[in-house]
Structure 1
Amino acid sequence: MRLIYTQNLAAVLSDPKRTRSEVSAFFTRHWGEQFIPRKNIPPAQTIPSISLEHFRQYLATTAKKHKQYLKARRALRQKQTQQNGEEERISRDEVADIFFSPTFSRHTQHTFEAVFLEPKPGEIDNLFSPIEKRKEALRQQQNQNPFIERHESCGSLYSIQSGQQQQSLLPIEASNGRFFRACLRLQNKLEFFDDAISTLLNQQLENRSEQFWKSVNSYEALHDDLEESIERIKIARQKLAKTKLELCSRSQNLLQLYYAKINRQRLFDKLQEIACLRDAQLTVQMLLNQDDVPRALECIQTAMEVLSADLRAVNCFRHLGSQLEETKKMIGKMLLEEFEQVIQKEFAWPIEEQKRKQFFDEEEEEDDGEISNLYPIIFSLVRCHEFRFLAILREEINATVKNSTKQIVKAQILTHLDADTIGYNPTTLSEHICKLTSPQWDATLLAVVNCLIILCNKMKSIQQLIIKCADQAALEESEQLQKQQQQKSRSDSINKSSAQNSGTSTPSIGNSSVGSSSIPLDKTTTNPPPLPPGTPGALLSLPCHNINQLRAAAIQLIGHAIYLCEERISKRIQSRFKTNKFISKFTEARQRELSATIDAEPWKLAHINSNIQRIVDCYVQDGVLTTATNNEMINNGEDEEPKEMLKLKDEEFIVIGSALLLINILASYSDLLRLFPTAGMELSMDVVQCLKLFNSRTCQLILGAALASRSLQLISIFIPALKQSFLEHLPVERQTSLRHFDSTARDYADHIGEIKDKLLGMMDRELLVALEEV
């Protein structure tokens, strides 16, 4: 084995064993990295040959234990180093606390005096560290203890010399009897603090550096694990791709053939639909000629669904949809005319014949015959979505009720005519009705009620027939919609799976628009719009757009017929009208009375009667203005004589008569609010107008200004209570109008301030004039 030893230039030049002359001579003679001649050293005979197996055996046995030993030794050394370092470390207590203060600044006077000036007598030096402060406290404690011996020694030559040096380094005097610190001692102390803080920073950096390197090492280990995981994932993906090519290719080809077959089947079905749609109009015409309207409507509906779902883009059928729609509208008009004729025929029977032939008293065969006439018409109208037949039915019911009632009344009058009566005049029907006696009235009313019962039974039969037709149509539409949704979901799942599994398969003819025409129907049948509250007539006057509205309108037919017979207006509307009329008259009367009282006001103090005092006492007790006082308060009022002052809590007011009238008016408005809470908006505006009227018409002259000021102060106390009362009764969206109460209260306060300023200014002028005269 040949060994070659080399030595670089830097090692030779820095060899301490060589002299300077040898180094310089060597540098001038030789230049380069390899300058020592090579030597061949023969291999030793005693050293055995080491192979790779020796290292493997070593790594398997001894190296593992050796690594554990090295790790334990390193941890012990680190722990020992930390313990030694903690002993040698400088603690924070060796630095003065003033330097760690967050408010430390050399520009402040306190910090400057604490650092550069000597402390005052009796104060602790701020440059003392916590350790020095503890030593100083211990020294003072020892000095205060008389039992501790003190060894006093005479001054030596050294102490005399040091005293001379101290006298030469006397502190310089500053302002206010303070002295600057000795420069040398201050510099030494600050240098010590600087070294201590540098040491503390180094200790913190050492602690942080160890944590940093631990994080770096863990990051490197994590990075190595990630690289290994990525390599394993690559290998797994390669194996999966190879497995897919070898095992899944045959299955994929089968799936492509299956989806191609499905697409061809769809194409064949669509071609069949096209062939059927080509003869759609002829089929509908043939069914109409055979009077088979339901099947004709079913054919039209099926053709329109196929056009809107599957054959939307076929150019030859671009006008077929509009043609079928026109045919459907024409059929609807024909059905409406036929329905009107049948209903008029049903309601045109005389009353006597109707009594003999009622729907619920006839035999079953006759009832079935009547239903068989209306059932196909109503069912076809529902299929056409022609709900205008309800309006026709409502008009016919209205006319029938009026005519039947009039006919029954005329017949009863003719039967009860006296022999002295010359003849019957139809124009004087009301006069004849007034001449009827009480038994005749009872007989007439009984006949009218029997007639209405017959009509209601007939309407009930028609209603049941309409509900039956609506239920059947809704059931058919829901089943058809469910089939379309199932077909759409099936086709969508097939399309998704074919797109995922076949990359080069035959393009599929997707049923993308299946169910598009049925979505609005689903929304209207499942979520009908809320019907407005009100009378049955208001409900039936609305147009019906779907089957649920039709059912709701059909259920109201009997109630609507009764409502038409009553011929009355809504009590709620009538009461609302009368309430508004009463409030308007009440407001006009009160404002007129208040204006007249203010115009005739003598601006003198008014006498307080017991009624006003009880209103104020009730306000103090309950916090509400009201004219309805308790009997206890009336009985307690022993002194009924008028008073000159009005007591409100602990305060007394001397006011004018207009203020007392306004208090009574405000209490009346508060009572109206509790009686008619729905009219709270109008009442609040009226109250604000009364308050503004009183504020604008008060204190027109200087005479009576003080009384006016006290009256305004008294009325301003009741404004918050009025606002709170309206806040409880008004809805949230109308509570914004209560801001007028706040603005009125501010106007009252400004008016009171103006009166006070005027009175004070007038008194100042009078006082100055009197002083000048003196």
Structure 2
Amino acid sequence: MASVPYNIHPWSHLDGNSGSPQWKKCIVCCKTGAFKLPTEFAHHLRNFHCSKEGGSYVCRYGVNEVCPSLPLEGVSDKDYEDHVARDHVYNGSDYRRGGVGLRMTQMGHGHMISPLVSGRKEPSIVEDQFRWTIYDASVNLPAVLNDPRLAKRETDFFTKTWGEAFEKKDVQPSPFLPEINGSHFERYLGKISDKYKIHAHGIEQLSKQQISDRLHSGALKSLKQLEKNRADLDQVPKIFMLPNFSLENPETFCAVFPWTQVEESKPDKNGNRQSCKLLQEKLSHYLDTVEVHIGEQISKRSEAFFHAMTSHDELQDYMQVTCRAIKQLRDKIHALEETLAKGSLKILKLTRSRTNYVKLHNKLKLISTVQQTQPTIQLLLSTNEFVGALDLISTTQEVLAQELAGIHSFRHLGSQLAELEKIIDMMLRADLVKYVTAELNRPITDLQALADEEKLVAIVLGMLRQRDFEFVDVIRDEAFTALKATIKQSVIEAVATADDVDAEGIVGSLADQMRLLNYTEWMNMLKNVFHNILVIVNRVMAFHTVVREVILIAAGRTRKGADVALLQSSDETLEENKDAEDEDDGDDDDIVPSDAEPGHEPLLHVSVTPGNASDDLDVMITESEYLATVQGLKKMLCAVCDHAHDRCVKLMVARAKDGFLEKLSSNEFVALSKVIEGFVTECERKCGRRSTSLRGSLLNQANRFVDRFHDERKTKLSLILDNERWKQADVPAEFQEMVDLISKSGKMQLPEKQRIDLSKKPAEFIVVNGEKFAVVGTVLMLLKMMVEYCECVDNIPAAAQDILGRLIDLLKTFNSRTCQLVLGAGALQLVGLKTISTKNLALASRCLQLIVRYVPYIKDHFKPKLYDKKHTLKNLDQISKDYMDHIDEISNKLVAIMEGLTESYVIKWDAKAPMPSSCFRSVCKQMTKFHEVIIDVLPQHQVKVIFQRIHKSFVNLLRHQLLTLNVINDGGPQTGMVNADIVFYENNIKSLKGVEDVIEGMQSVWTNQVKS
């Protein structure tokens, strides 16, 4: 409601000189000429300038919504209608002098005002406002003071009506009057003592008989009189003699006036009831009886009465003397008062008055200031000074409760300010939602962190001032909505711009349309989604930074010291978990907790006055609230990142519904994995916490990819092994480049294609750190597969455990299949080999040795990425052991082959000419041939060990044969022949490369031989 200008009195229209009727316009609403009838103006006052409080109506038509002619506590509906008609619709004098009055009658849903002619002759407020009339009296004071119910009347009548100072006070004894005691009556007692003695002596002179007669006769008379009086008084009911007799008591009243008798009596001819007359006569008789006895009692004491009358004149003289003394005393007191007391008292009075005037002036200034509270609050709110407005409301409430308590004009201001505070709370929330929504939904191309940052600061400070910490939830919820809208918009744009997708012709959901995108289009869409999400996350980061700075100010803390300690403690659990993972995983993807972008400075650079914020701002929140709010901000940022990941998971699940992701090639899936891993890492760097949902979804897809990846290679390896003829294969240049790169870098990785020299001819051996390996083609493919598994785990580190398990399965498959095909002679049937030759065995052994050579590289490559290192690495160690056992088995097989050949020749040998014998010739020939086969395949140390075992076996066989032939070392012809064969054997073995020192002496064949 608009307020009335202070320079216009709202009741100036009551002036008799006014040109137009007062009901023509409303001074408060400034509506002139808007009312054609008095009824319209009366309706307007009831609808817009009247309030109902309880069952009373309060008129608000006046300055500051206060009507000067109606009680503030309100009146009834009828009195309100009369008040409007008398004081507002018509001039007061016209209304009282018989003019037209108004009576409001209820008609349906509205009111109808009908004019009535009033004959009341009451004084005019305008003409007689300075003259007191009988109508100004509100109560008859004599009637109140002479109230017969004085005993029941409240004792605080004067206090309630005229104030606390108007109360009964005990009269204190005057310090100027002496205290009366027994000594003041000694003169009087001495004066009457002689007369009293004469009186007492005269009584003693009477004879005892006279006294007895007098007493007897007097007693008789007294007894007779008492009996007569008692008989008369017995006629009066005892109820009238009770000390608590009161007709106000219903039981007493019914006992005195028996209404049942009155009702049952029949009226006489004149219509009067006889019982009433009888009752009246009976009561009159009781009254007469009592009055007679009272008169007798008075007559008996007439002597004392006349004695008092004779003393009256003497008392009058004494009174006159006393009055003259009192008059003289008063004259002296007045003289003293005029001379000594009045001036000093006047000074004290003036000083007290001045003090009161100063207090009144200050109080009026305070009232004037409080009156400007609401306009000032509106001004502060218009400039987003929420804290200033709230502080002003709080201060005003304190002033109203302490310094302006009891001011009648401010009785509603406290509740109005409380309602205004609630409105400010709603404004803060609405403005925050509007601001956050506008900031988060700005175009993606707008890279500005925050626009109009000061408004956010003011809103958050205002909410902190009100202990409202829901701004964290508001930012989080709006961020969720913005992320959802951004992802949806990105998908729509990708579908709309796709060349081979007719979005208009497709009937289905957006997910169905998205599934029609090819890999390139879908990857571009996914990259765009990730970019847009990161833009939203950056904006949430900006909110996080600004709000945290505001919280620091509200808590009275600085950026240095306490806040840093808090942030460290808030991330303590995360850091401990990360350190534990680093201890187990080695070089894993580190996550550095960070609350802001690199190079992103705090956005809060405003100095705040009351309502803005400042470093010296009063502390608004407690330490516990500060800690809880900062933790909530941290959780909010993590929740936004987690929600973004969840939305991306839904996007991937929708695209993978038709097996799209499972059909990707290795390079395509690796590219997808890198994009997702980069996005997840960036989000983790921003929020400072590891996210699992998107990684988990990628891991599920990676597991399917790894299954297909492994099945393809396992099937390929099985097919190659089934077709392997176990012959030495040439080594292409790309394989040599691969092992050289591995040896140089220490990591399992494939060389870049542009670095491979395709002009190089294939080599006979593959060289690893200078050591030659003769291998079959299958092991080269297996070695490349091993590198591919290692590169796969680099691209999909989350699936490291699963990938290593598949690689171990692949190595086991190669080992077992090699054993079946070579040692088990399975290749004879599969590829049609005639026999498993020594070279086949040697090549198989050498291939196994090459694989074992790279098992430590695999171990080092996978170790940083495994979460269960001990168990998985133990499996790798077991693989190495299985391969070495297989190599030993092949070595044993080679030795067994040679042992069988030498045994077949030795058992036919005899010490006969010619020398060297054909048996020794054949043995040496087979050993030479065996040496030629394995020397170029197996390493020299292994060849040496094999020949040592073969030689030892040959010596044992020869010794056994000599015992069988009963040839002893007796220096005879047979001994010479044996020695000739042995020398031939020694010379032949010593001519073989790498086994020259195998022969330690053949004289051991004669061990345990006795000369005959």
**Shorter-chain TM-score: what band?**
0.3 to 0.5
With normalisation by structure 1, the TM-score equals 0.33
Higher relative contact order (CA 8 A, sep 6+): 1
Larger Rg: 2
Higher helix content, 1 or 2: 1
With normalisation by structure 2, the TM-score equals 0.26
